[in-house]
Amino acid sequence: MDILRKGNKDLIKDINRYTVLNLIREKGEITRTEIAKKCDFGMSTLTYILDDLQQEGIILEGAETSSTGGRRAKLVRFNKDYGFVVSVKVEEEQLLFALTDLNAEIIENTSIPFSSEKKPEEAIELIAKNVKKMCGNRDMNHLLGVGIAISGLVNRKKGTVIRSTMLGWENVALEAMLHAHFPDIPVYVDKNINCYTLAELWLGEGKQSNNFATVSVGAGLGLSVVINRQIYYGAQGGAGEFGHTTIQPGGYKCHCGQKGCLEMYASEFYFRNRGEELKEAYPTSELNDFHFDKVAKSARAGDEMATELMGKMGEYLGYGIRNIINTFNPEKVIIVGEGLHHRDLFLTKIDEIASQNFFSGAGFETEITTTSLEDPAWLQGAALLVIHQLFQVPIYEEEQTLLR
């Protein structure tokens, strides 16, 4: 896609072009007449835009509509194979990669071993090598961007990982470092939960919602808030760190340095913290491994300590979600993450507590639901970091530079 724009005089033309293109993307297939009505364009203006897009190859002629007695209209459709995107998810013990089309549909994906002890430079070498490997024999001119999902505090505008406790990174210019390997290809970086939320926004439970929250539960705790169909980032891009809100003053020590953070009570961390304390109270318990999967397996086998741990974790998470509802008043809260594999052990507790919020008392119900997406949604969301930028309607910043 030609991403260069000539300046102020082309702004209206650019806006019209992207308005039409995004409508076609949203609908999949649509007639010229329908586009003209929805965009309020004259047919001559629309024909010019469509001819330009078709010549570029980003839209294609579709089938003809069924006849109702008059002349059958031809459909135009978005060419999802116009280019491709590579997405990456950085985890503690592995790197995940996917190659997607422009609808964020995964064409192929893979994973490689990784260690969080690796230096950023080593990680970048691995990422760059495997991005190229994912592209295979495809024309690199059709690689329209690389999207990276990572744990930690991220400055997405600069593509910098400000701090990642999981990786031990601070102020790592991830985007700039990867640009050394791909100088002509856009690179976008965001934290994991925001990437997943993009997938929910465009592919999942958030498609029909303007305001919602996504909560991830598992080894840690994450939150992303959507307001008027835009992710809320806050001043430094760190909005959503509700895992570091205090739920128990003076409580368990958190990896952030504070005590009593919600993440220490509403995630896998709680099993480790509280499990050691409960061993004397449950001398017959055979639970020694406090990973989420192991605690869930023991709870299903009737282990009383594991059952208590899972139930209390659900209670704390319920209070956390209640606070989200009271603070943001979302239409719905979508629960995601690896912990959902064991939802039957704690979801009832969450519903019982979170549903008793301020708004329910006023007669307004907030839907609490679980994701309908599969695990690759993390990678689809990272791809959508790129796709969202590619098709963003242009605006001007104060310095009068044209944004994509």
Domains 84-197+377-390 and 205-372 in one fold: yes
Is residue 277 a contact partner of residue 265, using CB atoms and an 8 Å limit?
A: no
| CATH code of domain 84-197+377-390 | 3.30.420.40
Q: Hey, how many other C-beta atoms are within 10 angstroms of the C-beta on 195? A: 28
pLDDT in tens, the chain (404 residues): 454 444 455 677 888 899 999 999 988 899 999 999 998 888 888 999 999 999 999 999 877 766 555 567 789 999 999 999 999 999 999 999 999 999 999 999 999 999 999 999 999 999 999 999 999 999 999 999 999 999 999 999 999 999 998 899 999 999 999 999 999 999 999 999 999 999 999 999 999 999 999 999 999 999 999 999 999 999 888 899 999 999 999 999 998 899 999 999 999 999 999 999 999 999 999 999 999 999 999 999 999 999 999 999 999 999 999 999 999 999 999 999 999 999 999 999 999 999 999 999 888 999 999 999 998 999 999 999 999 999 887 764 433 333 33
| CATH code of domain 205-372 | 3.30.420.40
Give the three-state DSSP class for 20: helix
Domain layout of the chain by residue ranges:
9-78, 84-197+377-390, 205-372
Helix (H) or strand (E) holding 100: strand 94-100
Find out whether 256 is annotated in a ligand binding site. Answer: yes
CA-to-CA distance for 299 and 157, rounded, in angstroms? 44
CA-to-CA distance for 346 and 271, rounded, in angstroms? 13
The burial class, CB within 10 Å (0-12 / 13-18 / 19+), for 262 is buried
Q: How far is CA 286 from CA 219, 280, 342, in A?
A: 21, 12, 19
Find out whether 39 is annotated in a ligand binding site. Answer: no
Rounded to the nearest 5 degrees, what angle is found at the Cα of 236, between the Cα atoms of 98 and 172? 55
User: How far separated are the first and last CA of the chain, in Å rounded?
Assistant: 12
Find out whether 261 is annotated in a ligand binding site. Answer: yes
Token digits of residue 253: 């020590």
The model carries a pTM of 0.90
Write down the pLDDT at residue 6: 45
Find out whether 142 is annotated in a ligand binding site. Answer: no
| CATH code of domain 9-78 | 1.10.10.10
Amino acid at the residue 249:
P
- What is 22-75 written as a DSSP string? HHHHHHSEEEHHHHHHHHT--HHHHHHHHHHHHHHTSEEEEEEPPPSSSPPPEE
Write down the pLDDT at residue 61: 87
